[in-house]
Chains A and B, each alone.
Chain A
């Protein structure tokens, strides 16, 4: 591979895929067992090689009905009657099994999603285990969880069956965010992983079996949009939890209108990452890179709009370009890889389209020289300079490794620009001045504000958006509210 000057020569350090055992085909996990679906099937491929990994069942209405009924039976007969302490112990078991099988999950997630093994190994899978561990601990403490209920004999109750639809960007982590609090609160679930990344959810079904989780408490059914719609529309579902695009979130909110279904939505974002002239710039550069290039930019809370104070804009952009030259794009299973494959051909087309529009609208496009593999879906880390608020790349979620750079002069202008979006999921602030961090944080209309850091996640910390980034919180004590009445 030709080398550019900023990059050290690294020998390949591939993680062996031998640890995972991908079956040629998968059924649906309903009532504690893998069963054949009644519908068609679809293929899941490796986005880095376009190789077919497995054939997966596409659940139809009948399958959804079976899954919801299994969840209802498990809810009525077993799970809602079990003490919180016992439910918690199942979650602790699941957490431990995931810790034990961490390597296997990390490799499988990397293969099916295209994200670097470095991330699945160090971020996704440890957080998954931590989530189950955290919510396992809540299961017998729910009377302390909700405001006004502590120690006064309040008795929060589960909702029933939760229908959960999750995206492809953090497949197993989003599963954990959905399943762990739902189960801790005494609900049972029907969960649909994204059609491009079903494999770790199906391996998780095996974990449920190893943990002896009662059949029907967790049902995992695969499929695409139609299957998701069927789950949302099923009258036996008491609660809908969705993470994904704002458009689908809107459709779900409309679909449940007039019913008693509870809903939480974690949707898109267009986060401002705001850099002041007194910020520790080298640290800020790392935060900008992490903010937009982590997970190929397939992150709803990605810092996709860099707002940099005019006086340091040239310096920041120069440093950022220099840093971007050292990013390694390539084989997701290589432990040195920083940026892996784009998850699907469809997503790649969307990133290309919006990037081309950015150029056509007059913004300056730049990517470091990098050789992209011949097969698979790839997009180089890219920045746009001279972006105005009217440009589509400043307004729409690209969901790829593409950063739009805007400038500002005063903190108030930074707030105006940061809030000038229908989204409100996250924001970043880089400055040495504590009082300014806290003032900015109070002004930003976003659910998570990172100060002098970015893209931090913890099961104890609530996550979720303002405005069209959705409603409800996942994580922390607040995450329980979505699953209790």
Chain B
């Protein structure tokens, strides 16, 4: 009698709500915490990045046009589905990063709670950063935030909490994004994509690429249909400067490299960096 053989999952990319392999046909080996073979991850190419930007752009109109209340509900739904699959995420964090069970639990808890935190912000950020402006004249004048558009994100190392912490603020405010997952720990990002794909999040709002940051990020930084770039996960200062220079070409909004304490309450600039302020004037009179 032979033991049952596991059916292993193929890890692919997440683009436009689907899970394609890299068009390049490439993959790279992801090691577990002890250096052993864990899985092959798709190695995304320049073309995959461009496909992802196109998907994010197509999704932007619909997503940014939803009511803030509705976006909040969808982000909350991601938290609900993540909670229901928490065992899987704890197991993945332990095998890929080698963290203790208690630590894995802490990260999963924090990731779920962070989604809930941003779900609440969806319909509140405008009330905190917007408002009436008392101009000196007979005019109604009002400012309100609007999402910048398509945001490229280089995710930091924490495969679950890190990814959630950079993606949730961006989408809660109505942006869409292309995120490059942590290069050494990409698998949890794809599992999280499975959660997002089943949480009423429209295809294309979040697109996840796995592969080499140094290879893909420059194409996103120089892409003219990308409106902002979050360099949180960039560890190499030279690469950071190169990306920022490329981003300057079409004046992308840039969040510079550097990661705050992920377990602390996030600062509002994770949202405001990728928000435009729109001010509307209208005369008042008979």
Set of chain B residues within 8 Å of A352, measured between Cβ atoms: none
A88 touches B284 (CB 8 A): no
* Residues of chain B from 89 to 131 with CB closer than 8 A to chain A in the complex: 113, 116-117, 119-124, 127-128
A85-B117, A88-B120 given as contacts; is B282 within 8 A of A133 (CB)?
no
Establish whether residues A150 and B128, one from each chain, have CB atoms under 8 Å apart when the complex forms.
yes
Selected interface stretch from B68-76, B163-171, B209-217, B249-257: B68-76
Looking at chain A's contact residues, is the secondary structure mostly helix, strand, loop, or mixed?
helix
Query: What is the distance, in angstroms, from B171's C-beta to the closest C-beta of chain A?
Result: 15
Complex Cα–Cα for A329 and B226 (A): 56
Distance in angstroms between the alpha carbons of A89 and B282 in the assembled complex: 40
Complex CA distance for A46 and B114, rounded to whole angstroms: 45
When chains A and B are docked, how far (Å) is the Cα of A435 from the Cα of B139?
8
Q: Report A-chain residues with C-beta under 8 Å of the C-beta of B128.
A: 144-145, 150, 477
CB distance from B271 to the nearest CB of A (A): 11
A residues less than 8 Å from B120 (CB atoms): 88, 136-141
* In the complex, chain B residues whose CB is within 8 Å of the CB of A88: 116, 120
Q: Knowing A92-B76, A133-B73, say if A141 contacts B285 (CB, 8 Å).
A: no
Asked if B7 is at the interface (CB within 8 A of a chain A CB), the reply is: no
Q: Are A137 and B284 in contact (CB under 8 A)?
A: no
Chain A residues near B284: list those with CB within 8 A: 435, 438-439, 441-442
Interface size class of B (residues with CB under 8 A): 20 to 34
A134 close to chain B: CB less than 8 A: yes
B283 on the A face (CB < 8 A): yes
Query: A137 near B124 (CB under 8 angstroms)?
Result: yes
**What residue of chain A has the Cβ atom nearest to residue B114's Cβ?**
A85
Indicate whether A24 reaches chain B with its CB closer than 8 angstroms.
no
Within 8 Å by CB of A436, from B72, B117, B127, B285, lies B285
Q: Once bound together, how far apart are the Cα atoms of A139 and B113, in whole Å?
A: 13
A residues less than 8 Å from B140 (CB atoms): 438
A434 within 8 A of partner (CB): yes
Nearest-CB residue, chain A, relative to B125: A144
A460 adjacent to chain B (CB < 8 Å): yes
Chain B residues with CB below 8 A from A144, complex form? 124, 128, 268
Q: How far is the CB of B107 from chain A (nearest CB, A)?
A: 16
Check: B286 CB closer than 8 A to any chain A CB: yes
Assembly CA distance A150 to B121 (angstroms): 14
A435 to B282, CA, bound (A): 7
Q: How far is the CB of B225 from chain A (nearest CB, A)?
A: 31
The reply to whether B283 and A477 contact each other, CB–CB distance below 8 Å, is no
Residues 358-386 of chain A, each 1 if its beta carbon lies under 8 Å from chain B, else 0: 00000000000000000000000000000
Complex Cα gap A108–B181 (Å)? 49
Closest to B283 in A: A435
Inter-subunit contact A85/B113 (CB<8 Å): yes
Contact of A477 among B73, B113, B127, B282 (CB under 8 A): B127
Alpha-carbon distance A137/B76, docked complex (angstroms): 10
How far is B113's CA from A89's CA once the two chains are assembled, in angstroms? 9
Please report the C-alpha to C-alpha distance between residue A139 and residue B117 in the assembled complex, in whole angstroms. Answer: 9
How far is it, in angstroms, between the C-alpha of A85 and the C-alpha of B120 when the chains are bound? 10
CB distance from B223 to the nearest CB of A (A): 33
- Complex contacts, A438 vs chain B, CB 8 Å: 140, 282-285
Contacts of B119 in A (CB 8 A): 137
Mask for A430-454, Cβ within 8 A of B = 1, else 0? Answer: 0000111011011000000000000
Contact with B along A271-298 (1 / 0, CB 8 A): 0000000000000000000000000000
Q: A133-B69, A144-B128 are in contact. Are A435 and B285 (CB under 8 A)?
A: yes
CB distance from A76 to the nearest CB of B (A): 25
* A476 with B283: CB separation less than 8 A: no
A141 touches B286 (CB 8 A): no
Residues in A whose Cβ lies below 8 Å from that of B121: 137, 141
Q: What is the bound-complex CA distance between A130 and B70, given in angstroms?
A: 10
A85 to B119, CA, bound (A): 12
Taking CB as reference atom, which chain A residue is nearest B127? A477
* Cα distance A139–B120 in the bound complex, in angstroms: 9
- Besides A137-B72, A435-B285, 7 other A-B contacts (C-beta < 8 A): A85-B113, A144-B124, A144-B268, A438-B284, A439-B138, A459-B69, A460-B127
Top 4 A-B residue pairs of the complex, sorted by shortest distance between their CB atoms:
A137-B120, A438-B284, A477-B127, A435-B283
CB pairs A–B below 8 angstroms (11 shown): A85-B116, A92-B76, A133-B73, A137-B119, A137-B120, A140-B117, A144-B128, A151-B267, A434-B282, A436-B285, A459-B69
Give B contacts to A, CB under 8 Å: 68-69, 72-73, 76, 113, 116-117, 119-124, 127-128, 138, 140, 267-268, 282-286
